[in-house]
Amino acid sequence: MQLKLSRRHTLRLLSVGAAAPAALLQGCDSTPSVIKIGVAQPLSGNLAALGQDLLNGVTLAVEELNKEGYKVKGKTVTFEIVAVDDKANAETGKAVAQELVNAGVAVVIGHLNSGVSIAAAPIYAAANIPQLAISTNPKFTQLGLETTFRLVANDTLQAKAIGSYSASQFTGTRYALQDDGTPYGKDLADGAELQLKAAKKEIILKQSFDDKTVAFDDFAAKLKAENVQVLVSTVSDFQIIALIEALKKIDYTKIIILGADTIKTTDMLKGTGVVKGLYVTSPVLDAREFTAGAAFLDKYRAKFKKDPAYAGHYTYDAMYVVAAAIRRAESAKPKDIVAMLKKIDGYAPVTGSMKWDDKGEQRYGVIGVYSANGGLWESQMRSDSW
């Protein structure tokens, strides 16, 4: 019996020994032939158009990189997108974040909503996976995680832009504030309130909703009763569209609406000319504002048969910067990509460049102000300081 066990043990060692040279050979080149890129965005529900646009940007970049024959250390590598629907919900966001980790993605480009990005961030961090988000709430990078990277300016700067532009451009003094109760909407509205009060604007009405509400008849009546001249809102585009319809019903459209980046969409342009003025502050600059924007728009329209809805050019650029980081690091290991993203001043084909500080904030972030006019968002001014 003892001899039988010994022989079995010997055979097992021989088997392992025979496999060892092959394993050593594979270890000589750790670069995988396929690198998975996670994309986590709201792909269903009210924000699906925005989430799909962000996915489209990554898709376009990945197709171009694969077509050109992207190489790492001389080896041809193919990018593969693993897309998940976070439903603009924090709990769903955590679940799909774990799915992406389990799928072995090297990088995640996500999420749109600040509350979702904040909830999912620790899951990516536990796996050392870099997370590049369009989310703007300052708390995202204040988590202190090495893996968080913001693609645009944050809401601290956006709140300053709201106050500064209102003070200098609007003659009205009677203001109302509206938010959607999310970390993004509530915190941005609170920041805007501080800036507006500093600018001597009277806030006579302030109300929170949730991020799905579209019944605004009562709120519209309050705006009329209080003779509000300017509404500063941090709700989403479909909600402002519904509010404008409610204002039309009571013939109270001589009001200026100043929204934030979640209403700077193609759908929101339906409100052009209905109210006295429709403005937005946004860290998302239009693709056409950049020298290379026209070429990007041509490619985007040819591929998807429509214009970008929101910020597809930022996720397109993010994918190119990620590809550069992998190539420069000569590694597709998430931890190595994180380290390189901390150092890189990455060439971004549309917006020019992406670089992050030690907290993951975008160094080249700016806030622009736009007005809806003639079916376009027309740039009024922009600044990186306000």
- Per-residue pLDDT reduced to its tens digit, 80-90: 999 999 999 99
Q: Are residues 316 and 333 in the same domain?
A: yes
Residue 46 pLDDT > 70 = yes
Q: At what angle do helices 312-329 and 334-343 cross, to 10 degrees?
A: 110
Residue 40 pLDDT > 50 = yes
User: How crowded is the C-beta side of 245, counted as CA atoms within 13 Å?
Assistant: 11
Residue 10 pLDDT > 50 = no
| Sequence-separated (6 or more) residues with CB below 8 Å from residue 135 | 111, 112, 113, 114, 116, 117, 118, 150, 184
Q: Are residues 199 and 295 in the same domain?
A: no
Domain count, the chain: 2
Mean pLDDT of the chain, nearest integer: 92
Give the model's confidence band at 57: pLDDT under 50 very low, under 70 low, under 90 confident, else very high. Answer: very high
Q: Quote the CA–CA distance of 8 and 257 in Å, as a whole number.
A: 79
Residue 142 pLDDT > 90 = yes
Residue 31 pLDDT > 90 = no
Q: What's the confidence (pLDDT) of residue 288?
A: 94
Q: Are residues 103 and 43 in the same domain?
A: yes
Is residue 17 domain-resident?
no
Domain region containing 102 = 34-153+288-355
Is residue 46 domain-resident?
yes
pTM exceeds 0.95, yes or no: no
Strands 230-233 and 202-208: unpaired
Interior CA angle at 195 toward 193 and 198, to 5°? Answer: 110
CATH code for the domain in which residue 113 is found: 3.40.50.2300
Residue 17 pLDDT > 50 = no
Contact 238, 259 (CB under 8 A): no
Q: Are residues 167 and 189 in the same domain?
A: yes
Contact 60, 318 (CB under 8 A): no
Q: Are residues 312 and 374 in the same domain?
A: no
Q: What's the confidence (pLDDT) of residue 3?
A: 39
Give the model's confidence band at 182: pLDDT under 50 very low, under 70 low, under 90 confident, else very high. Answer: very high
Per-residue pLDDT tens over the stretch 119-141 = 999 999 999 999 999 999 999 99
Per-residue pLDDT tens over the stretch 253-284 = 999 999 999 999 999 998 899 999 999 999 99
Q: Are residues 201 and 240 in the same domain?
A: yes
Is residue 25 domain-resident?
no
- In terms of phi and psi (left: phi > 0; alpha: psi -120 to 50; beta: otherwise), the region of 366 is beta
Residue 5 pLDDT > 60 = no
**What mean pLDDT do residues 32-51 have?**
98
Is residue 51 domain-resident?
yes
Q: Quote the CA–CA distance of 98 and 100 in Å, as a whole number.
A: 5
Q: Are residues 56 and 137 in the same domain?
A: yes
β-sheet bridge partners, residue 373: 376
Is residue 337 domain-resident?
yes
Q: Are residues 88 and 201 in the same domain?
A: no
Q: What's the confidence (pLDDT) of residue 145?
A: 98
Q: Are residues 340 and 201 in the same domain?
A: no
Q: What's the confidence (pLDDT) of residue 22?
A: 35
Q: Quote the CA–CA distance of 287 and 276 in Å, as a whole number.
A: 26
Q: Are residues 44 and 138 in the same domain?
A: yes
Is residue 363 domain-resident?
no
Is residue 7 domain-resident?
no
β-sheet bridge partners, residue 345: 355
Is residue 14 domain-resident?
no
Residue 20 pLDDT > 50 = no
Contact 81, 75 (CB under 8 A): no
**What mean pLDDT do residues 195-215 have?**
95
Per-residue pLDDT tens over the stretch 330-354 = 999 999 999 999 999 999 999 999 9
Q: Are residues 273 and 331 in the same domain?
A: no
Q: Are residues 168 and 141 in the same domain?
A: no
Q: What's the confidence (pLDDT) of residue 167?
A: 86
